[in-house]
Amino acid sequence: MTLLRSPPSFLINAFTPYLFPPKYPFHFSLRHRKCFPSQFPLSFLASSPTSFVANAAATLIDEQPLSSRFHISRGYPMPFGATLRDGGVNFAIYSANATSATLCLIILSDLHHNRVTEHIPLDPYINKTGDVWHVLLKGDFKDMLYGYKLDGKFLPEEGHYYDSSRILLDPYAKAVISRGEFGALGPDSNCWPQMAGMVPSSDDEFDWEGDLPLKYPQKDLIIYEMHVRGFTKHESSRTEFPGTYLGVVEKLDHLKELGVNCIELMPCHEFNELEYFSYNSSLGDYKVNFWGYSTVNYFSPMTRYSSAGVRNCGRDGINEIKFLIKEAHKRGMEVVMDVVFNHTAEGNEKGPIISFRGIDNSIYYMLAPKGEFYNYSGCGNTFNCNHPIVRQFIVDCLRYWVTEMHVDGFRFDLASILTRCSSLWDRVNVFGASIDAEELETGTPLSSPPLIDLISNDPILRRVKLIAEAWDTGGLYQVGTFPHWGIWSEWNGKYRDTVRQFIKGTDGFAGKFAECLCGSPNLYQGGGRKPWNSINFICAHDGFTLADLVTYNNKHNLPNGENNNDGENHNNSWNCGQEGEFANASVKKLRKRQMRNFFLSLMVSQGVPLIYMGDEYGHTKGGNNNTYCHDNYLNYFRWDKKEESSSDLFRFCQLMTKFRKECESLGLEDFPTSERLQWHGHFPGTPDWSKTSRFVSFTLMDLAKGEIYVAFNTSHLPVTISLPERPGYRWEPLVDTSKPSPWDFLAADLPHRDFAVQQYTQFLDANLYPMLSYSSIILLLTPDPNP
């Protein structure tokens, strides 16, 4: 994630005291900013209730009186949302500050013309219990959608944005219907056409075929971060439904071949890809919110990732993502969702009123005393996660995705926001009693956040994978210190930075690199956690790809239209001698070596490895480290390039993942001790931890493979190393990243493998091994045929 050095003024919250610059050099990106292009409806930019009412005609027309098609009764306050009950549908929505509520029923054809089909006014004496508005309807709901109109104060300075002209999405809606095709504008070229929720039906069924959670121990995972649309949208995918959930299903066998057993889906909750919509003169296309870190609704899967679009009011789209999850499970792959509970698509005070803001802005968002939005997310607002109502909403949502959609866990974007205290924080509100009259300022980090506590002790959620991106854009960096209850893992940003520095040959990182290889005990052991609490990654969606990491010293983000001001400036990258893809042969060879070095280090480290989509074949984004806005080749998986490299990098990655899974010692339950692991240097038993050291090696006892020797030489000079002596045994080469493919990995079925091994005989007979500069090796201990 990336900060602007000098962000454009239209991206800055008007209340600058509440926009906090980060204090730490971590990544966040333009996906954590809001912009409102010229196509944005002017009514959304209104700053007074008068202007909202003036534009009401653009939103709602042809209001009709209540008809007799539905039987209306009082209804029930729980559960929230639209649920089947007593032969009808019960509607319940929380709003503590609304003075009136109307349920709006809309058929699909009326939605496209901004018409409400039926208005159901709710009587506050009959249809309200506490702060919950509710009603039970019986009748014909075929092709019916719904939303709410809520009235109350429009006083931003008090935190209220009620506007009775707006149809609001129910936060608990299970599908959101508006546009059906990704990137297509709405009526009158509207980027924000009216949205409505799906009304549930007794006909909603899906055959799970007995699907059950795989429940892999987290130590055994190999995670693959994937973008649903980007994975198959390129024409070379040759899928029937490119860019969709079904398209991913068609290509799951590729992940099986790679050795992945867990897919981490980038945001698949409903979002509006058109919120950044504007012409991009650099590439001759249009900028969109491609990554999707700007949620509209948390219960709803992204409709425009389905081949069905709005067909059957979104039900077919729900079934498509269920089908993806079921088919992944059949192939032995868990599915983890990337969830964005730190902010919503409604942005700051200039943003649209879609759902939460119009329902109860002062409850759902973290506000300052005069109604200003705290902006710990960098996107204009911060979800009020530790408020009792909001944290229950988040838990309800997570439970739904586990129980109804069968996902296996969650990666929480900017999870440190989930640890900050809510607006109007006080002990009575949260715990029911005052403790030492403690008062905390809004946004203060909490050692025991109620939301994290609730999730961690939930009987359903505590058994799934819980992964935190342990920082936010307000400077709260918690890698190694995130409140964890013994079950939370973290994206280990310190692992990424250290491995990048060491592999490219920076002095002073040998000791830190060794800690990374052991699962970062310096971060996790003291808090009682294990190596698998560290999610190790070198590249992710945010930042350079693996190929660009070794091709560019500097970011090249001009295609983003921000004059190269966006994106992280500190990438810890090295171009291997020449900037850009056009380089001489020796530089290109070194780059391939470095990519193999990075991947090998990832696979031999304790903890959980995470691979970014496309890195297995060397995908390039041309040096762009912030491709949040590109629906094009920059973000598309290139299946043609993967085929070209199938005998090169992809083969190496595939064999390394296979090797990791075969080694019992590379996914330990606890941190390795001296009984299992020994450190070496250029000579056995003499590691060099000095500031100038660029060599790290170790031996590891493995119950399946015997003893393994691993070494990294990140110096610009070659070295001949002495190997540990093992009487009656000899070391046999398996991996040497300095060798060209296929000799970089001497797999058992490699033709002429024995001849290749013989090339090392002269050295191995003397218990030596020659290592080229910037190379890494794996040797296996085997019985000596000639002791």
Instruction: Return the SS3 of 660.
Output: helix
Instruction: Find the helix or strand (DSSP H, E) in which 285 lies.
Output: strand 285-287
Q: How far apart are CA 654 and CA 607, in angstroms?
A: 19
Strand partners, 217: none
Q: How far apart are CA 30 and CA 275, in angstroms?
A: 13
DSSP percent split of the chain into helix, strand, coil, nearest 5: 25, 20, 50
Give the phi and the psi of residue 499 in degrees, each rounded to 5: -65, -40
Q: How far apart are CA 72 and CA 119, in angstroms?
A: 12
The active-site residue out of 413, 542, 548, 616 is: 413
Q: How far apart are CA 714 and CA 505, in angstroms?
A: 5
Give the phi and the psi of residue 304 in degrees, each rounded to 5: -85, 10
Which tokens in the block code for residue 432?
A: 């029911």
The number of helix segments (H) and strand segments (E) in the chain equals: 20, 31
Q: Is 441 a catalytic residue?
A: no
Q: How far apart are CA 183 and CA 285, in angstroms?
A: 11
Angle, nearest 10°, between helix axes 510-517 and 585-603? 50
Strand partners, 73: 136
| DSSP secondary structure, 720-752, as one string | EEEPPP-TTEEEEEEEETTSPTTTTB--TT-TT
- Nearest-CA neighbor of 599 among 408, 342, 776? 776
C-beta of residue 234 within 8 angstroms of C-beta of residue 633: yes
Q: Which residues of 46-59 are buried (b: 16+ CB within 10 A; e: fewer)?
A: beebeebeebeeeb
The sign of the torsion formed by the CA atoms of 683, 686, 690, 693 equals positive
C-beta of residue 592 within 8 angstroms of C-beta of residue 652: no
Please, how many CA atoms are within 13 Å of residue 127, restricted to the half-sphere of its CB?
A: 22
The active-site residue out of 110, 250, 469, 631 is: 469
Which tokens in the block code for residue 598?
A: 């990075």
Cis upstream peptide for 121 (omega within 30°): no
Q: How far apart are CA 217 and CA 261, in angstroms?
A: 11
The sign of the torsion formed by the CA atoms of 23, 24, 25, 31 equals negative
Q: Is 131 a catalytic residue?
A: no
Which tokens in the block code for residue 110?
A: 């009326």
Q: How far apart are CA 347 and CA 32, in angstroms?
A: 10
C-beta of residue 666 within 8 angstroms of C-beta of residue 603: yes
Residues belonging to the active site = 413, 469
